[in-house]
Chain A
Amino acid sequence: MRARVFVTLKPSVFDPQGRTIAEALHSLGYQNVDDVRQGKYFELDLATTEASQARALAAEVADKLLANPVIESYRIEVES
């Protein structure tokens, strides 16, 4: 089963790269893009067929390694 983990800087943490990308988009004429947050994306192939197990395992590895809880938060999607 595949789990997807999206890691981004926490809302309280300034993201200078995201800000610069938003400014670049504005200079391209995309004034309707209000803000951009840049992040990391992971695909985990897990040896389980149980969605709840996959989600729990993905959360565990995100907590332990994929995200740094001081600055980042994450969101998990499990493929059905």
Chain B
Amino acid sequence: MKFAVITFPGSNCDQDAYHAAKDVLGQQAEYIWHKDTDLKGADVVILPGGFAHGDYLRCGAMARFSPVMQSVQAFAAKGGPVLGICNGFQVLLEAGLLPGAMLRNRSLKFQCEHVDVRVEQTDTPFTGACRVGQVLRIPIAHGEGNYFAEPAVIARLEANRQVVFRYSTPDGRVTDASNVNGSAANIAGLCSERRNVVGLMPHPERACESILGSADGLVLFESVLQWVRSAESLALQPARSASV
């Protein structure tokens, strides 16, 4: 299985994502420069964290004009799994692949710390190996992760079960005190209506080895590996039945 890690000018977590995919998960991984349009046959696309295009204008605002985003849009439209981490999540919001926008953190500070997030949905490519209610301890590192959408949009997200991760206490209670940045409904991560595009502010790729303080983030990568393999086996079935 192959991961494409998109590198924008100003991305700085592309190497962490590459390391998680290649060295920890043991899969193929390739960097794709933002001016390229060929995803090199990747099964999964990761938009990594950082400060794409210097976060000029708004976080993620300029990245949507990078040529590679046309290919990412087309990949997502075909149902391909796309994961946006931190700045990558902001890019997905600005590109309209996920609804809503980010505001400055409630604290007005750039927050860099391990937080607890509760897994709300397991029928996405990136959470299939999780349990509903499982709490992952993974780091955040952002100044603008305060998720906002109009109440009607939040209601639609809840009705469609598109809230995938919420900031919670270590025992999985969703409280205002555990809402690290003031996000609407404690939202830490979302999926698209079709569920194949997932964005989250915390950094699972920085929490894939216990030497880094937590290996809780690895389950997202294991999930998508499992998802791609089962999608492949499903795709093979018609061919098999046809040959019988």
Judge if A28 is at the interface, Cβ distance under 8 Å.
no
Please give me the residue from chain A that is nearest to B99 by CB atom: A70
Verify B106–A70 contact, CB threshold 8 A. no
- A14 proximity list for chain B (CB < 8 A): 103
Given A20-B108, A68-B94, A70-B148, A13-B57 contact (CB < 8 Å): no
Bound Cα distance A20, B149 (Å)? 22
Given A12-B150, A65-B57, A66-B57, A71-B101 contact (CB < 8 Å): yes
Verify B58–A13 contact, CB threshold 8 A. no
Interface size of A as a range: 10 to 19
Residues in A44-80 with C-beta less than 8 Å from chain B: 65-66, 68, 70-71
- A65 proximity list for chain B (CB < 8 A): 57, 61
Mask: chain A, 25-42; 1 = CB below 8 Å from B; 0 = not: 000000000000000000
Q: Nearest Cβ in chain A — how far from B159, in angstroms?
A: 19
Judge if B54 is at the interface, Cβ distance under 8 Å.
no
Q: Main SS of the interface on chain B?
A: loop
Contact count A vs B, C-beta below 8 Å: 32
Q: Nearest Cβ in chain A — how far from B101, in angstroms?
A: 4
Given A12-B150, A13-B148, A68-B106 contact (CB < 8 Å): no
Residues in B82-111 with C-beta less than 8 Å from chain A: 93-94, 99-101, 103-106, 108
Residues in B58-73 with C-beta less than 8 Å from chain A: 58, 61
Most buried by A among B105, B148, B182: B148
Verify B57–A16 contact, CB threshold 8 A. no
Q: Nearest Cβ in chain B — how far from A46, in angstroms?
A: 19
Partner of B101, one of A20, A66, A68: A68
Given A13-B148, A65-B57, A70-B108 contact (CB < 8 Å): no
- B108 proximity list for chain A (CB < 8 A): 16-17, 20
Given A17-B108, A20-B108, A71-B61 contact (CB < 8 Å): no
Verify B58–A70 contact, CB threshold 8 A. no
Q: Nearest Cβ in chain B — how far from A37, in angstroms?
A: 13
Chain B interface residues toward A at CB < 8 A: 57-58, 61, 93-94, 99-101, 103-106, 108, 146, 148-150, 182
Interchain residue pairs with CB less than 8 A apart (17)? A12-B150, A13-B148, A16-B104, A16-B106, A16-B108, A16-B146, A16-B182, A66-B57, A68-B58, A68-B61, A68-B101, A70-B93, A70-B100, A70-B101, A70-B150, A71-B101, A71-B103
A-B contact sample (17 more), CB < 8 A, given A16-B105, A70-B148, A71-B148: A9-B103, A12-B150, A13-B103, A14-B103, A16-B103, A16-B108, A16-B182, A17-B104, A17-B108, A65-B57, A65-B61, A68-B94, A68-B101, A70-B99, A70-B100, A70-B101, A71-B101
